[in-house]
Amino acid sequence: MAAAKRPALPVILLANDLLDGDVVFAAGDANGLRWSRDPGAALVGDDDATADRLDAFAAAELGNQQVVDAYLVDVAIEDGVPVPRHYRERMKTTGPSIRRDLGKQAELPLAQAFLRA
Amino acid sequence: MYRYDEFDERFVRERVTQFRDQVGRRLSGSLTEDEFKPLRLKNGVYLQLHAYMLRIAVPYGTLSSKQMRQLALIGERYDRGYGHFTTRTNLQFNWPKLRDIPDILDLLADVEMHAIQTSGNCIRNVTADHFAGVAQDEVEDPRPTAELIRQWSSLHPEFDYLPRKFKIAVTGAEHDRAVIKAHDIGLRILRHPDTNEVGYEVIVGGGLGRTPMIGKVVREFLPKADLLAYLEAIMRVYNLEGRRDNKYKARVKILVHEIGTEEFSRRVEEEFARLDGPSVNADPAEVARIAAYFAPPAYEALPATSGAFEAARAGNPDFARWVETNLTPHRQPGYAALTISLKPIGAPPGDATSEQMRVVADLADEFSLSEIRVTHAQNLVLPHVKLSDLFAVWQRLGEAELATANAGLITDIIACPGLDYCALATARSIPIAQALAQRFADPVRQKEIGVLNIKISGCINACGHHHVGHIGILGLEKRGIESYQITLGGDATENAAIGEILGPGLAAEDVPDAIERIVSVYLAQRQSGESFIDNVRRIGLAPFKAAFQDSNREVSHAVA
């Protein structure tokens, strides 16, 4: 479900993969969007047009049964990396704060960068 | 322990097949998420922050060693090598993949387990006193009653789509260790004061969450044979009149509160009188069949004391301390029930690794007639250990970091998974529990403070039972940061009470100091032998509030 009210720009789109539940991020460029497990790869929507594209991608992919719980998240750009502004979504992009050996923070250097926030 | 009969076995297997088909249809796209969600929830599958979560029922908290080994295997093969025991005495795996869940359910069915009705608006896993069949203050083992309710409520066609979830707990003892007054229905097995007949006190309308309520007695004495008909009458009144228009007002506690206990009771009695009791109540032969599974195991005739045990206790202060906190007297001479703390200092409350599960299973086989219990306080119990074996068990537990001597003390903290895992959470719970455990780790100090229950929830839904903690901590969001509200004076026992808020919310880093202040008031003001909760009851909230507000003024991070 896309969020009813769009958050403030800039935004990224995240969701959970249908098959395994892992958090995925809409990545890509003007030529097309795809899902990436790396938050560092997330396409940042910093204008209404890109945010609309992300919204449309969410709706399409929910319909295609690729992902669940897809929604836009407002981010701040820190050292070139989009970091969710809200601590809940930061948790979602890193993994449990009490088990740094689990989740994205254990596997992906860019997720580790989020921990600074 | 209860063993599945052919009907139980077929029922669980069919359910796995059915869910395998539903998952297949979901993955192929023929079921949408909106269609699939209620189906997965009925099978204990949630979507959490980082992954799916599978909640497995441990009916009335009783597990065999074989079942525990299977949970260890599932944790290793399909998860990340650990599981989390919950306040409903269930086990949650935090990282299963949707495609693997049918296989996991098959492995569970192999050991007579399932995840049915661990979620959704139905009658949930029935819980009971974790010292059932063991406790010295028990009138009767509550597990045959719990098992009967489990069978009656599993896929009960009339009660499969209730206004909201429904939780039942049973105790057979005088001292309530099953939090029955904070359940939709709480049953207490007792003897009739005049006739000495065994029956039930029936309590309805307790619950925590957004609107905490203590349950009300709707029937002081219900003959045992009438149990199912009476439960059916309660469920009918609730099913018909419980609010379906507002999920926050849909629990039976709201109905009882709105129409009053007397009126609720009258409607239940009216429905009960109308019901054809004999067609609803369980066949006495079936009740006897179930009860036979819970007959006392084959204990050895032993002296009430053990020389080896006393010598080990005298010679080893660490062992003596563990015995003092983690042992519960057993009704059978020469035996004890021991609590295995899943609260090592600094670890997430209730988590156990697959290796630890296997150690517990091995110890249960060697020393506890293959039986294990899960407690609502997120610990495990070996219910039947010979006194003479205790030292050996303690040493083996110690090697697996399972011998923490803190049962019932300030570091034996209940905490829900909170925002580290849970999609509903508004704040983290586990790091608060870890910080508090570290602050109060000193065993001498813990002993000095004595029995003190801290319970932490990461949102208003109160899975961490914060309302009934002597000290309760509720994690909320305030202006984009985590904020923690402290309550005092809650009680989860037969003296059930809802804690009262002490003051404004605190930032996470200020919680340990605030708790320290509260404890200091108690230590300064207690009378000889007075427990924390008794002290709060005697002196009231004011001195604690004053100390709390002092600490609040001193910290610069306090969240208004």
Which two structure tokens, joined as six digits, stand for B468?
């009934």
pLDDT tens for residues B94-143? Answer: 999 999 999 999 999 999 999 999 999 999 999 999 999 999 999 999 99
Q: Is B92 on the interface with A (CB under 8 A)?
A: no
CA dist B328 → B231, B325, B364, B445, B472 (Å): 32, 8, 16, 22, 25
Radius of gyration over every alpha carbon of chain A, rounded to an integer in angstroms = 13
Of B98, B420, B423, the CB nearest to A19: B98
Confidence (pLDDT) at B507: 97
Residues of chain B found within 8 Å of residue A16, distances taken between Cβ atoms: 47, 51
| CA pair distance B30, A76, nearest whole angstrom | 38
The pLDDT of residue B290? 96
Q: Quick check: B80 contacting A, CB < 8 Å?
A: yes
Q: What is the pLDDT of residues B523-555, one digit of tens each?
A: 999 999 999 999 999 999 999 999 988 766 555
Res B558: pLDDT: 43
Would you state the pLDDT for residue A117? 47
User: What is the pTM assigned to this prediction?
Assistant: 0.96
* Optimal mutation site among A101, A102, A114, interface B, most CBs of chain B within 10 A: A102
Q: Does B51 contact A16 at a Cβ distance shorter than 8 Å?
A: yes
pLDDT at B379: 98
* Phi/psi at B133 (5° precision): 80, -5
Put simply, whether B472 touches A (Cβ < 8 Å) is no
On whether the CB atoms of residues B280 and B273 are closer than 8 A, the answer is no
Pick from B311, B329, B62: nearest CA to B173 = B329
Say what the pLDDT of residue A29 is.
Answer: 87
Q: Are B276 and B233 in contact (CB under 8 A)?
A: no
How far the first Cα of chain B sits from its last, in Å, is: 52
Residues forming a β-bridge with A82: A77
Cβ atoms of B478 and B431 within 8 Å: the answer is no
Q: Which two tokens stand for residue B539?
A: 């002196």
Element (DSSP H or E) covering residue A113: helix A109-114
B428–A contact, CB cutoff 8 A: yes
At A110, is the pLDDT very low, low, confident or very high (cuts 50, 70, 90)?
A: low
Query: What does B277-293 look like in DSSP terms, one character per residue?
Result: HHHHSPPHHHHHHHHHH
Stretch B157-168: mean pLDDT, rounded? 94
Question: Could you say which of A22, A97, A99 has the minimum Cβ distance to residue B428?
Answer: A97
Confidence bin at B350 (pLDDT 50/70/90): very high
Task: Categorize the per-residue pLDDT at A80 as very low, low, confident or very high, splitting at 50, 70 and 90.
Answer: confident
Q: Which chain B residues are within 8 Å of A97, Cβ to Cβ? A: 420, 428, 431
Q: Which of A19, A23, A91 lies nearest to residue B97, judging by beta carbons?
A: A19
Kindly report which listed range (B30-39, B403-412, B427-436) carries the lowest average pLDDT score: B30-39
Contact of A76 with chain B, judged by CB distance below 8 Å, is answered with no
| Banded model confidence at residue A109, pLDDT cuts 50, 70, 90 | low
For residues B395-413, give the mean pLDDT. Answer: 98
The answer to whether A100 faces chain B, any CB pair under 8 Å, is no
Chain A residues inside the 8 Å CB shell of B425:
88
A2 pLDDT higher than 80: no
Per-residue pLDDT, B402: 98
Distance CA(A20)–CA(A25), nearest Å, equals 14
What is the pLDDT at residue A71? 97
3-class DSSP string for A2-55: CCCCCCCCCEEEEEEECCCCCEEEEEEECCEEEEECCHHHECCECCHHHHHHHH
Determine the pLDDT at residue A107.
83
Q: Mutating which of B52, B426, B459 best tests the A interface, going by the most A Cβ atoms within 10 A?
A: B52
Confirm or reject contact between B49 and chain A (CB < 8 A).
yes
**Pure H helices in B79-200:** 101-110, 143-153
Strands B168-171 and B185-191: parallel
Per residue in B69-103, pLDDT (tens digit) is: 999 999 999 999 999 999 999 999 999 999 999 99
Give the pLDDT mean for A65-77: 96
State the ipTM, two decimals. Answer: 0.93
Count how many Cα atoms sit within 13 Å of the Cα of residue B41 in the half-sphere of its side chain. Answer: 16
Percent of chain B with pLDDT over 70: 98
**Type and span of the H or E element at B514:** helix B511-525
CB contact A64 to B (< 8 Å): yes
Do A87 and B26 lie within an 8 Å CB cutoff? Answer: no
Look at residue B98 and give its three-state secondary structure: helix
B419 Cβ under 8 Å from any chain A Cβ = yes
Give the per-residue pLDDT at A1: 45
Domains within chain B, CATH numbers bracketed:
6-110 (3.30.70), 133-292 (3.30.413.10), 307-399 (3.90.480.20), 414-559 (3.30.413.10)
Of chain B, the percentage scoring pLDDT greater than 90 comes to: 95
pLDDT given at position A114: 58
Q: How far is B241 from B296, CA to CA, in rounded Å?
A: 42
pLDDT at residue B556 is higher than 60: no
Cα(B509)–Cα(B358) distance, integer angstroms? 36
The count of CB pairs under 8 A between chains A and B is 72
Tell me what pLDDT residue B549 has.
Answer: 85
Which of B26, B34, B47, B49 to mutate: most A Cβ within 10 Å? B49
From start to end of B249-366, where are the E strands? 327-329, 335-340, 351-353
User: What pLDDT sits at residue B370?
Assistant: 97
How many angstroms separate the CA atoms of B560 and B478, rounded? Answer: 8
Chain B partners within 8 Å of A99 (Cβ): 348, 420
Per-residue pLDDT tens over the stretch A3-42: 457 899 999 999 999 999 999 999 998 889 999 999 989 9
On average, the pLDDT of chain B sits at 96
B420/A88 CB distance under 8 A: no
